[in-house]
Structure 1
Amino acid sequence: MDFTISWIGALIGLGIAIVLILRKLNPVYALFLGAIVGALIGGANLEQTINVLVSGTQSVMGTVIRVLAAGVLAGVMMESGAAETIAQAIVKKFGGGKAILALALATMIITAVGVFIPVAVLIVAPIALSVGNKMGISKIALLLALSGGGKAGNIISPNPNTIAAARGFNLDLSHVMLAGIIPAICGLIVTVIIASMLKNKGVMVSNEEAVDNNKADTSNYPTLGKAIVAPVVAIILLMINPIGSLSGIEALAKFKVDAMYILPIAGIVGMLAMGQGKKILQYTTSGINKMTATVLILIGAGGIAGLISASDLSTQVVSLIEASGISGTFLAPISGILMAAATASTSTGVILATGSFGQAILNMGTAPLAAAVMVHTGATVIDSLPQGNYFHVTADSMKMSIKQRMGLIPYEAIVGGTMTIVATLIYGFLF
């Protein structure tokens, strides 16, 4: 595009989109409308505005394709009961004495193997309510264990947010997943520590709530050995290239198969291992249905990202950072934090941050992998605000009021902030 939109128009467009989302307008329409109004206010004509939208949505198509492919693995893990089998096995293994660690680890692992974080929380929530009732653990501690564990798993998963971070900086998905391991472990540790400190504070789980959430029939769920086949296959295939690169084994390093192929293959192999080959249509249909809402939001995010990319907003932000005297490295985590907070979504926040500030981040000397990890972890800090669905889904899963759920946000920010600080220290300054 041979024109530049005023940064004021970009900010107004983003602000309009946020307000409309808060007013309960469909996020896709809110993002598109914000992009259109912002472009027009910023000096674009009607034709240029369409070009901005088309360019922005085209930029996310690579991510969209991979997210749809990931739906096969997600559908298999959720519909077969494999994810719940894994969660129950982890909690049972650790026992009641380490309940908070078990719940956080279970949610982390389920999210890490490709299940959306809201779904992972929904899967583990009934177990958490039962354990919390027996052990006398408060709801806020239980949900922090689930949410914090989910955040940790989310930055090392083949989920839409990680795919978006990888595609935003033209990296292999496996490299971004692998780079998030240390921040994820730190996030898990902080989650367990804070949740343990909160276990006697707030509202406790009633007997009725514990009973109501334990009615699921698990008799047809797969055994643990069969349940882990799909995620194990996915992890092995995704890690072949990074392991080859690190070890110097050329044959492995040349294995460059995109996640678009690996994730569906892993899902189908897992389905066959569980003896559910006849349900391939059911599982894949469920998977793509669960991905549809995310894909639409990603397209909407592409529209607003196109607006910001066509503006001089990133130039203004870079100038502000330089004038303040702080390191340009901080642009990556700051952009992730702000964009995810604006949209109350990790994946949408990553799309906006990479699409709007990606080139500016790289121009300041930050390596692509470091940029991806810092943006990605930054997007987990305050992404659970009330304008997003994650806030409400998790509140309902633990039978919490809006006020009670609001009280959890600062603790979730500590978990996300810890992962961001660790990622920034490691990739922004040490390497």
Structure 2
Amino acid sequence: MEDIEIFQRMGLALAIGAAVGVERHWREKDEEEGSRTAGIRTFTLIGLLGGVAGLLEHFLARPGGIPGIVVVGFLVTLTAVFAVFQLREAIADENYSATSVVVAMLTFALASAAVLSSMTVASAGGVVLVAVLASREFLHASMRKLRWSELRSAVILLALSFVVLPIVPSEPVGPFGGVSPSKSLIMVIVLAAISFCGYIAVRLLGSARGEIVAGAIGGVISSTAATISNARRSASEDLTRPLAAGAISAGAVSMVRTSFLVIVLARPLASELLPVLFSAAAAMLVYSVLLARQSSAKHQEVLPKNPFDLDEVVKMAVVLVGVGFLARAASETFGDAGLFIASALSGLADVDAATIAVAGLLPTLSVQTASLAIAIAVLSNTLAKAVYASIFGTMAFGAHVWKASILAIAAAALCFGMLGSWL
């Protein structure tokens, strides 16, 4: 380790301690001198101590020795001394908290890591530490407002994502490419995440604006899933207009997402497809915003009772996975000649699969054929979502989605006609 690198690493160790010290000192800025255990000076020195411990560890390390003995020894000593002073302060103030002790330990550990390990990881850890400390009021207020249904849903979502998903096999089962258990579970997680994000957005922003934001998030992930999720909720909640606005905004974002895929994967098709897709997206977005404004003027806020119903989420995932399987079966059965049929069937569940597949075939397809295949998938997906809205949602919900879909198709057709006349 050269001198310049040592100075850089020690500087980062000091910076981590100083950043934590600023937050800790500001938190107790009204306290008299000598009444606080640690402020900006103390935590800066803790950062320096961690850096020095890391340097000693580096230079005193010997082959066959016990790695980390120096750093651990310093950490144990610092923790013991700091805990004694913190206990005396807690007794005097009658305010018991282990936060400052843990913060001192983390500051020392991150400062040592800045010298011994990755500076990027150490600096990121310091930023996260300060952010968590500065968010105390927000976190405490959030916990006071947290409901059991929200906590339970979050735990289920985390368990599905990080406990169940890693152990589910990913190899497809069955003919025509089969069905992958892990991808099916991912669809369940996506649907549950969309519902949960929608619930949080409604709580923070109200039903009208919240559903538009939630729909936009859902459109980035899966506009079909977002539409079905909102349709299910509309059948049991007095939120028809906001939920319809959210589903329509998801459709608009989905078309923008398809445009992005075309730019990245199939640039030769951009001049053919982008104007059509953007015009359709704009029509849906305008309808969504106008519907949300009407809703906010007439609708009384109603909070959903449950962030998501796992049984319903599983049923919706089965529907989408089944439709995707049928699309693959049709594609393999009809071969290249069935490209348009396969695109239409793929659109019943999602547009991305058709877009990616067509982009992969682009060297062997004409621009017109490839553009038409993607356009068919988008049209099929737009109409399919309107059908799903009518099947799973209320009559009013389905009517709004149908109106927006027809408006988007008309705008796309008009744009296509204008492009044809110009070309």
Q: TM-score, normalised on structure 2?
A: 0.39
Instruction: Report 1 or 2 for greater relative contact order, CA contacts < 8 Å, sequence distance ≥ 6.
Output: 1
The structure with more helix, counted as a fraction of residues: 2
**Greater C-alpha Rg:** 2
